[in-house]
Structure 1
Amino acid sequence: MNILLTGGAGYIGSHTAVVLSQAGHEVVLLDNFCNSSPSVLERLQKILGKALPCVEADVRNTDAVERVLREYKIDAVIHFAGLKAVGESVANPVLYYANNVQGSISLLQAMQKVGVKTLVFSSSATVYGEPQYLPYDEDHPTKPMNPYGQSKLQTEKILRDLAISDADWKITSLRYFNPVGAHESGLIGEDPNGIPNNLMPYIAKVASGELPHLNIFGDDYETRDGTGERDYIHVMDLAEGHEAAISYLENCCRGFEVINLGTGKSVSVLELISAYEEVIGCKIKKFITKKRPGDLPVYYAQANKAKKLLNWIAIRSVGDICETTQRFSAAKIIA
């Protein structure tokens, strides 16, 4: 298949590009590089042994998206493009609705014009909000606690309505839990600018000396060791989940499906730090600080639906997560 990845040069998009290309698909990237770097394209070429076509454009430019769909004879789209920092979404909600919701509408308008009606949407477990029960399954009530989560849920509602209005659409919304890790080559991984919003790149930056210490936000939660627990999924497992979703849509009946992508297990902040310390062979400087407003003590996925429909499960360990993250971090320092 000819597959367009919006936001394809980003963290999850680039890893998915590798998996899809190695599975025999023709992959085209579209990215405005607001959350990524053009240098990723060179790294992808080293991994794959070939260059992937990449169009620099904003997904909100409907005409530009339409041109790409036509020029490359696209069969299906995986929609990664969007902003993803929870704190930033609280501070600037209009920016998030403009990028994430308006951008999705623009993409759908272009797809409708061309007649491309197969879509995998990059959603998030943040749509669930505070857990009514655990693990979260796809039937859990949705009540996002921030504009980022709201923007993902609003887009899902649009996609559901679209699939109801036109029976030719095939749409899967993948609700991610906590993507972490890097490609085994060390060439691509999560590389945020400045101080990271997510735990894993923060640990890596402290381990490398780029940041002085790690803040742990609270150690008195009702969890195994008092620190927050999350469902950390290796980015390559996540990427393989997208390839499985494309195969599912290629062969399934039409409509709209929501599917969790997670491991089904929780890992605490201290457990993740300890696993990283084992990889690097030394302690990471850390301090306990006060809890952040809105942080949940624990959440993790019920991933049975992905196994049933996609024939997919997460197979990589916490050790794999830490080893590949460190490999990517070390390669950046050498470069």
Structure 2
Amino acid sequence: MTLVGDGHTILVTGGAGYIGAHTVVELLGLGYAVVVVDNLVNSKKVSIKRAEEITGKKINFYEVDLCEKEALEDVFKKHQFTSCIHFAGLKSVGESVIKPLKYYYNNLTGTSVLLELLEKYACKNFVFSSSATVYGLPKSLPLKEDHSLSCVNPYGRTKLFIEEMLRDLHSSDPSWNIVILRYFNPVGAHSSGLIGEDPSDVPNNLMPFIAQTAIGRRECLNIFGGDYNTKDGTGVRDYIHVVDLALGHVCSLKKIQEKCGCVAYNLGTGRGYSVLEMVRAFEDASGKKIPYRIVERRKGDVAECYADPEKSKKELGWSASKGLQDMCKDTWNWQSQNPNGYV
């Protein structure tokens, strides 16, 4: 039987990261050849070794920063890419508020250099890792792809500016095929427990903070804000299993083969859970009590955010299949097998 990816070589930037590594596993499983470029600022090389262990396939890996054009071009000279999936970028909302110039330089410059080289080497098929933060403060829910776009923090603005860059690029040259994926809140881990989310510092996202508290690495979970206008006062988000998210990228590569132009899709479940609901679900999955305290809201956070995923279902043939129990169970499986992450 011919595998889907036969004859295709995919450049995956940021492929050693949390979402990148899971996507690499799915791509390899479908017969795609994969080349990973990552500067390892927010990731660890061992994730590549673990992905190879899961799949039994070889991954070409290069430790390169996208802002270093000569080093990146050396990678292009060694491989002929058919598509690129672009994950690489700084991603902390809180840090972006404190260090906006760092985020604008890294995320925008790196993407611009990457696109220049893709154009030079005739690879005009591109999947971009965007974010639901481009919707800003939601005027209505659930969020649809045609909602107005705005941002409340520099991290989100870098995603929105890159989206605009891509739309302008396609307008100037319609031979580009671009899929923009607006993620909601990725959680979970591969069922093997070999790869998962391993923040380099204090976690910025809820689930790894819960998991690290459960395993004993942190004394207490900080819940940012208990006075939102939600069911229990804590923020509500659309959590999506990282394997479902990874499969969304596979579907996007298939969409590109249809000469799709430049199009955006939400990747979410369409269901929102509060922070306290997530805590209780994780306690059930792990059998551990999660101590927590309510602290001040974080600047740039919104009360509620969840997707309308119908466009993805209709046009990509994609929908999330894993529920909250799977998300918590797989996260605990990863964390309990790797109490200190990849270290």
What is the TM-score of this pair, normalised by structure 1?
0.97
Q: Deviations over 1:167-200 (max 9, x none)?
A: 2100011010101111101011100022111100
Q: Deviations over 1:79-124 (max 9, x none)?
A: 0010000111111111111111111000011011111100000001
User: What is the CA–CA distance in structure 2 between the aligned matches of 1:282 and 1:146, rounded to whole Å?
Assistant: 34
* Alignment partner, residue 331 of structure 2: 325
Match of 1:71 among 38, 58, 78: 78
**Residue 268 of structure 2 corresponds to residue 262 of structure 1:** yes
Equivalent pair of 1:122/1:174 in contact (CA under 8 Å): yes
Match of 1:80 among 87, 90, 100: 87
- Larger mean CA deviation between 219-228 and 117-126 belongs to 219-228
- Larger mean CA deviation between 303-312 and 210-219 belongs to 210-219
**Residue 297 of structure 2 corresponds to residue 291 of structure 1:** yes
Equivalent pair of 2:93/2:300 in contact (CA under 8 Å): no
Letter in 1 for 2:273: V
* Alignment partner, residue 147 of structure 1: 154
User: What is the CA–CA distance in structure 2 between the aligned matches of 1:211 and 1:174, rounded to whole Å?
Assistant: 33
Number of positions where the alignment pairs a residue of Structure 1 with one of Structure 2:
334
Equivalent pair of 2:43/2:200 in contact (CA under 8 Å): no
User: What is the CA–CA distance in structure 1 between the aligned matches of 2:66 and 2:182, rounded to whole Å?
Assistant: 21
Equivalent pair of 2:179/2:264 in contact (CA under 8 Å): yes
| Stretches of structure 1 lacking an aligned partner (at least 5 in a row) | none
User: What is the CA–CA distance in structure 2 between the aligned matches of 1:216 and 1:151, rounded to whole Å?
Assistant: 26
* Alignment partner, residue 42 of structure 1: 49
User: What is the CA–CA distance in structure 2 between the aligned matches of 1:317 and 1:281, rounded to whole Å?
Assistant: 18
% identity of equivalent residues = 49
CA shift for structure 1 position 26: 0.6
Which runs of structure 2 are paired with 1:148-227 in the superposition (5 Å)? 148-227=155-234
Equivalent pair of 1:230/1:267 in contact (CA under 8 Å): yes
User: What is the CA–CA distance in structure 2 between the aligned matches of 1:163 and 1:99, rounded to whole Å?
Assistant: 22
- Secondary structure of 1:296's counterpart equals coil
- Secondary structure of 2:139's counterpart equals coil
* Alignment partner, residue 97 of structure 1: 104
Letter in 2 for 1:331: Q
User: What is the CA–CA distance in structure 2 between the aligned matches of 1:297 and 1:82, rounded to whole Å?
Assistant: 25
Q: Deviations over 1:312-332 (max 9, x none)?
A: 001101111111111110111
CA shift for structure 1 position 254: 4.3
CA shift for structure 1 position 13: 0.5
Match of 2:255 among 245, 248, 259: 248
User: What is the CA–CA distance in structure 2 between the aligned matches of 1:295 and 1:155, rounded to whole Å?
Assistant: 21
Letter in 1 for 2:326: D
CA shift for structure 1 position 293: 3.0
What is the RMSD computed on CA atoms of the aligned residues?
1.2
- Secondary structure of 1:333's counterpart equals coil
Equivalent pair of 1:3/1:76 in contact (CA under 8 Å): yes
Equivalent pair of 1:66/1:113 in contact (CA under 8 Å): no
Equivalent pair of 1:32/1:56 in contact (CA under 8 Å): yes
CA shift for structure 1 position 294: 2.9
User: What is the CA–CA distance in structure 1 between the aligned matches of 2:123 and 2:70, rounded to whole Å?
Assistant: 15
Match of 1:8 among 4, 11, 15: 15
Letter in 2 for 1:289: V
CA shift for structure 1 position 227: 1.3
User: What is the CA–CA distance in structure 2 between the aligned matches of 1:207 and 1:330, rounded to whole Å?
Assistant: 9
Equivalent pair of 1:206/1:214 in contact (CA under 8 Å): yes
Equivalent pair of 2:238/2:306 in contact (CA under 8 Å): yes
- Larger mean CA deviation between 216-225 and 109-118 belongs to 216-225
What is the TM-score of this pair, normalised by structure 2?
0.95
CA shift for structure 1 position 73: 1.1
* Alignment partner, residue 58 of structure 2: 51
